[in-house]
Structures are given as C-alpha cells and as structure tokens.
Structure 1
Amino acid sequence: MAGAYDAMLGDSLVAQSRTPSPHPVIGCREDLNIGCVDETQDALAAYGNALAWYVSRDGKYAKKAISYFNAWAGTIQGHANSSAPLQTGFAGTSWARGAEIIRHTYTGWGADDIAKFETMLRDVYLSRVIDGSSSGSQELVMMEATQSISVFLNDRASYDKAMNKYLGRIPAYIYLATDGAYWQGQIGFVNGIVQETCRDFAHTGYGIAAIGHIAETSRIQGTDLYVGEVGTRLRYALEFHSLYELGAAVPSWLCEGKLTLGLGPITEIGLNAMKTRLGYTMPTTQILTQMQRPASTTSLLGWETLTHAENPE
C-alpha cells in the first residue's frame, strides 16, 4: 500500500538525519531506562531503512541501516536488570529482521562487519533469550528473537529449540474450549482468552504478535502453522481481544468486569494469514485493523500494513 510506505518514510525513525545511539550495557526495568529506548528505536530504525531500501532500491537507506548495525555491533556488551530478557527479545527481533533483508539484497555490507554483527547477535542477544521464561508473553517474544536470530545465523539447532518452546507455550497462552477448565481466579473460559488478558492488553498484544510473527517466519521456512492449531488459537485470540479493544461492554465474568486496553497495531499479520490467505471471516479484527492503518510501531514490531496488509503471498 502506497500510503503505508509513505507513512513509514515519514516516521522519524527512518529519517536520514537520525544517528545511532549505541550503549555498552542496556539497563531496563519499570523505573530505569539506560539505553532501552535507544536500543529498541535504533533496531526499528535499521529495520525501517532496510524496508525502504527493499522497496525503493535507493542505496541511502541500505547504508543508513548498516550504520545502525555496525554502531551497535561495535559497542554493546550486554543487558542488565529485571526487564533484560524482554528488552533483549524486542531489539534482537528487529535487528535480525532488518539485517536479513540487507544481507541478501544489498552488496555493500562488508564481510568483516557482517561477522561482527553475527557475533553480537550470538553472544549478546541469542544467549539471553534462547532458554525462554516462565512468563507467557515474555517467553513468546524471546522465542521470536531466537527464531529470527537463528535464521540470520543459519543455526538450525537454536531454531528448532525456539520452535519447540513456542509450540509448547501456545496452548498455555491462548485458550480453546476444548482445553477444559484451568487458570485460577477466572470463572469463565471462552475461545481466545489469553493468559494475560486480565493483566493488560499491551502484554497480551506482545504475545499475540509474537505468535503471528513466529508462524509467519515458519511459513517462509517451509512449515505452515496457520492451517493447524496455532492458526485456530491465533484467530480466536484476535477476534476476542479486538472486540473489547473496539469498545464492547466487558461482562462481569471476564476479569471482574475490568480490562486495561491498549492492544497496539498487532493484528495485520494474523488477519492477513487467516482471512486473506485462508478465507476465515474475522469481522472485529478487520474493523480494528482498518481503524489502525497504516500501522505504526511498538517495541516489538513496525509498519506491518506495508509488509502484510492483504498480501496473499
């Protein structure tokens, strides 16, 4: 969509005047921001410039993306504090996503610089996310980063580990009526309710987005998960949460009648996979998605109207 491309080019993250802000150690928790925003925004900026290069074939965008890759690969040493796993997952996903585009479509990224970037991904990011987490959305984000980095590094063992954790996590994260009753404190169980629905929709959105992203990459790698249980759970989760994000009254049985909304622009990939490709009717997700177009960015994703809206391929 031309409008989505223009919107991305108008985003300050993709501005050619913007410069990298690398930090040796990133420190993140709720009350601490040592390089956290700089890292996620620089990784998204690199990805946005990689997309702009891919669409336009204007080398300035590829060079700008590379400037972010090289600056961080030459600086960062690690992540600290309680939010480090989630932060590493956010940035690691965007770094790998942008770098994959540049590596395979642009010849101006030097071999030595690519090798340094690979070392950064392996030692700083992959090592922190590959073992997962006991928290639902956090583990899904970490597995998305593991999968994306594994593709860039051509690391099949790490890829398989990520997929196994992902497939085990999804039934614990998105509920289907066929699962039976579980989860303490929730008296009503319906298709699509998520482990973190009663926490807030922001974290729920991270989890749903990561599920869709991993399924999308798996499809590119040759295994289509949308046609099975993963797709079914994703479809119900999108419809369930889109309904309340659009303002539907919250029943008393759901989270004691109180929801903290803010799902974010996370619906494009799932809607495209389940509606455009597979033909399912998803009316509430469709309405929410159209209201949010062109989709912007979150810490985990960016510009998905451009990359996935009504894309049958």
Structure 2
Amino acid sequence: MRTGTTSHRSPRRIRVRSAGVAAALAGLLGLALMPQAVAAGPAAPATAPVAAAAPAAFTHPGVLVSAPQLDFVRGKVQAGAEPWKSADAQMMASKYASLSRAPAPRANVECGSYSDPDNGCTDEREDAIAAYTDALAWYITRDDRYAQKSIELMDAWSAVIKEHTNSNAPLQTGWAGSVWPRAAEIIKYTYTGWPNAGRFATMLRDVYLPVVIKGSQSNGNWELSMTEAAIGISVFLEDRTSYDKAVATFRGRVPAYIYLSSDGALPKVAPGSGLSGRDAIVKYWQGQSTFMDGLTQETCRDLTHTGYGISAISHIAETSRIQGQDLYPEIQERLRQALGLQSKYMMGAAVPSNLCGGSLKDSLGPVTEVGFNALHNRLGIAMTNTQALTEKQRPAGTDNLFVAWETLTHADNPA
C-alpha cells in the first residue's frame, strides 16, 4: 500500500506533435501479416528507408514513452487491470522506488571491463533507473514525492559528474545516458517545478553526448546502446543535428547486427568497421560460420549481450516512432526474426549443432515487450515464440543496467 500525501494536481499541459506516419505504414500491410519464422529461410526484401530527418518539432515526453502511452498505463493501473497491476506493484516494491534512496554522485565514474573497477558505475546506473522509476511513479500516482525524488537524483548527478573513464567508459555512458532522458522527459514536461533542468541538460550535452554520438566499433551492443543514448539525449536537447547523426549510425549498425538470408552468404558489416573477408567476419560473429535469419552478431557470445542489442534496437525504434520518424518499417523484419530466433531457444527448443556448436549461454533478459508490442500488437505480425516468452516473463522487471519496467509501460499498449 502506498502511503504519504498524494497530490491531486494534474500534470501541466504536454506538448505533442502528430506523428503522421499512417501513410508510411499503409504500404506495409502485406509484410505485417507475415508469420514469424522459426528457422532459417528466405527473408522478406528490405523495406526502403523512411526520410532521414529529425522532426520539425520534437514530441515531449518522447523518449521511449509518450504521453498517450503513459495515460494508457495510468488508466490500466487505476482500474486494477492485469498485467499492469502486477507490473506496477513490482516496480513500487523495488529498491528503485524507495523514497529514502540517497543519490551517490561522483565527478569521475571509472568503469573497467565488466565494471571492474566499479567506481561509481553501479551507483550511476541505478540512480538513473531510480530517477526513471520515480518519474513513472509520479505520473501514475500524482504523488509529488516521487517527482521530487526523481529531481533530487537528477540534480545530484548534474551538479557533480564530469567524466567517465577506463575501458568500459563508452558503454557506461551509453547505459546511463539511455535512462536519464527517459526520467527527464517525464518530469520536465508533466511536472511543474524543476529549477535545475537547464543544468541537467548541460550535463547531458557536455558529459554524455560527445561520447555516445561518436559510436563504437566494439561489439554491436556497445554501439546500439550508445546510439540509444544519443537519440534520447538529442530529443531532450532538441538537437536535430545529433538526432540525425544517431539515426544514421543506427541504420548502419542494425543490418550489421542482425542477419537476414537476403543479405547474402555473409552478414553485412557496419560502415567504418574495417571488416572484410569471410575469416574476419566469422571471427567477429563469435566463430559462427552458418548464418540464419535472426542470428545476431552476439548470439554465440551469449544471450545476455544479445538481449542488450535487441533491447536498444527496440528502444530506438520506439522513440523514433513517437517523434514521427518511424524506423520500425525498415528494421521490422530483422527485429522480428531476432526476437523469434532467440525466443524459440529461450522457450526450450533444442539448439541445432550448426548454431553456436549446439549450445547457447545465459538468458535474453526482460527485453521483448517493446519490440513485441510494436510488431505484434500494432502491426499485426504473428510472433508465436516471442509472444510465449514475453507472456512467460511478465511482469518484466529490470536488468539493473538500462532496461526497466517494460511490461508496465509497453504491454499491449496501443498508443
């Protein structure tokens, strides 16, 4: 049971721009009705890219979740409907919703490989998730305390942090930089009273954006997470140049991360990667020499890192859709196949010997809700394996890195 004073004040007026994408989707209905593939086979032709331009006017809140989506969630929670009721209870019972949480900012967040050393890495990521959690809690409950706690966390970090260092610095910047704008968008555009919002914007512009906008030639999940951060930050800052650059990076990385048989005998390579020749590509794909629809560059590394990549792809496409530049149509076949292939084996199907030597490691994580909702519920694509895994994992919680509460925010969400 939630305790404390609850504000009855309504959120201030939200600025929203019409997406205007119905015409772009109308020609895709044939593709949208295709069943989900569960094995290697011919893939649908790639969809022509939509126009690569930042919106003339950004939609706020508009990073991963929009105002209509938040209103849908709030209504479902208030009505006690499932799975949103259980997902909300899970979030509110987590450490991230604690009103006694004390932020732990530092000027230099030093993160080595696998966060060793961990000098502020976990603190930063978890404070960002807490700020986003509190922002969601504010919107659903209208309890001012959660908005104020979110602001406290964001203000603490924007007053102190100067840099990320050591080998995992780019990835750390991407993970935290993906979550901070989600919280900031909700608070800035639905709550009255954040005096230090400008300082927070300066933090994103000076500490995070210069790192993540450059991208990375490391494993694909690095660049995808960094690109997610760049796009979310660009929306919050209304930085059209950075937004367009991040979209261009996304368009080069996704085809190089998820294989389709229409790519040919070998996977595509990301622009500027320097990869060439079968041996180099096979090595980059973790030694996998047999390619099948939905295989990712990291499937044979482990499913956990694969989940990071798939999640970032879904998040970027979702934000682009909210901003009126829907990237789902051009990546939907790759995302559909990637979700389907990984979900099939997560649900217990035997792994064939020509896939990662007949063995897959680890777990995909709570990463399927956003992509499943977009492709299955909005576009009508049959996704049997992904649906089974998504429903089995509900309510999806958090990976304590950059994924949080996506059953609550995106399960069956039509907005």
Give 2:337's aligned amino acid: Y
Does 2:162 correspond to 1:60? Answer: no
Q: Distance in 1 between matches of 2:262 and 2:289?
A: 16
List alignment gaps of at least 5 residues for structure 1.
none
Larger CA Rg, structure 1 vs 2:
2
SS of alignment partner, residue 306 of structure 1: helix
Give 1:284's aligned amino acid: N
Give 1:272's aligned amino acid: N
The correspondence for 1:165, drawn from 230, 249, 263, is 249
The correspondence for 1:293, drawn from 394, 397, 400, is 394
Q: Distance in 2 between matches of 1:146 and 1:87?
A: 13
Structure 2 equivalent of residue 71 of structure 1: 156
Q: Distance in 1 between matches of 2:97 and 2:349?
A: 36
What is the CA deviation profile of residues 201-249 of structure 1, one whole-angstrom value per residue up to 9, with x for unaligned ones? Answer: 1111111000000000000000222223x01110100000011122221
Q: Distance in 2 between matches of 1:202 and 1:181?
A: 26
Structure 2 equivalent of residue 144 of structure 1: 228
Structure 1 equivalent of residue 259 of structure 2: 175
Does 2:390 correspond to 1:306? Answer: no
The correspondence for 1:262, drawn from 351, 355, 363, is 363
Q: Distance in 1 between matches of 2:376 and 2:289?
A: 31
SS of alignment partner, residue 107 of structure 1: coil
Structure 1 equivalent of residue 39 of structure 2: none
**Superposition TM-score, scaled by structure 2 size:** 0.74
Larger CA deviation: 179-188 vs 7-16: 179-188
Structure 1 equivalent of residue 43 of structure 2: none
Give 1:142's aligned amino acid: M
Structure 1 equivalent of residue 275 of structure 2: none
What displacement does 1:260 show? Answer: 0.9
By relative contact order (CA 8 Å, sep 6+), the higher-ranking structure is: 2
Q: Distance in 2 between matches of 1:186 and 1:116?
A: 47
Does 2:332 correspond to 1:245? Answer: no
Does 2:289 correspond to 1:206? Answer: no
What displacement does 1:190 show? Answer: 1.2
Give 1:159's aligned amino acid: Y
Larger CA deviation: 216-225 vs 24-33: 24-33
Q: Distance in 1 between matches of 2:131 and 2:326?
A: 28
Q: Distance in 2 between matches of 1:210 and 1:155?
A: 20
Give 1:37's aligned amino acid: T
Structure 1 equivalent of residue 277 of structure 2: none
List alignment gaps of at least 5 residues for structure 2.
1-83, 267-280
1 or 2, which has the higher helix percentage?
1
What is the CA deviation profile of residues 86-142 of structure 1, one whole-angstrom value per residue up to 9, with x for unaligned ones? Answer: 1100001111110010000001111xx111101111111111111000121100000
Does 2:186 correspond to 1:101? Answer: yes
The correspondence for 1:281, drawn from 374, 382, 392, is 382
Give 2:206's aligned amino acid: D
What displacement does 1:186 show? Answer: 2.5
**Superposition TM-score, scaled by structure 1 size:** 0.97
The two structures, once aligned, show a CA RMSD in angstroms of: 0.9
Contact 1:121 / 1:149 at 8 angstroms: preserved in 2?
A: yes
Q: Distance in 2 between matches of 1:178 and 1:227?
A: 16
Contact 2:376 / 2:383 at 8 angstroms: preserved in 1?
A: yes
Q: Distance in 2 between matches of 1:273 and 1:190?
A: 23
Structure 2 equivalent of residue 123 of structure 1: 206
Structure 1 equivalent of residue 66 of structure 2: none
Q: Distance in 2 between matches of 1:173 and 1:238?
A: 13
Q: Distance in 1 between matches of 2:153 and 2:201?
A: 14
Q: How many residues align?
A: 310
Q: Distance in 2 between matches of 1:303 and 1:172?
A: 28
Q: Distance in 2 between matches of 1:262 and 1:125?
A: 29
What displacement does 1:258 show? Answer: 2.1
Give 1:187's aligned amino acid: S
Give 2:396's aligned amino acid: A
Which of structure 1's runs of 4+ aligned residues deviate more than 2 A?
none
Contact 1:245 / 1:261 at 8 angstroms: preserved in 2?
A: no
Q: Identity over the aligned pairs, expressed in percent?
A: 56
Contact 2:288 / 2:300 at 8 angstroms: preserved in 1?
A: no
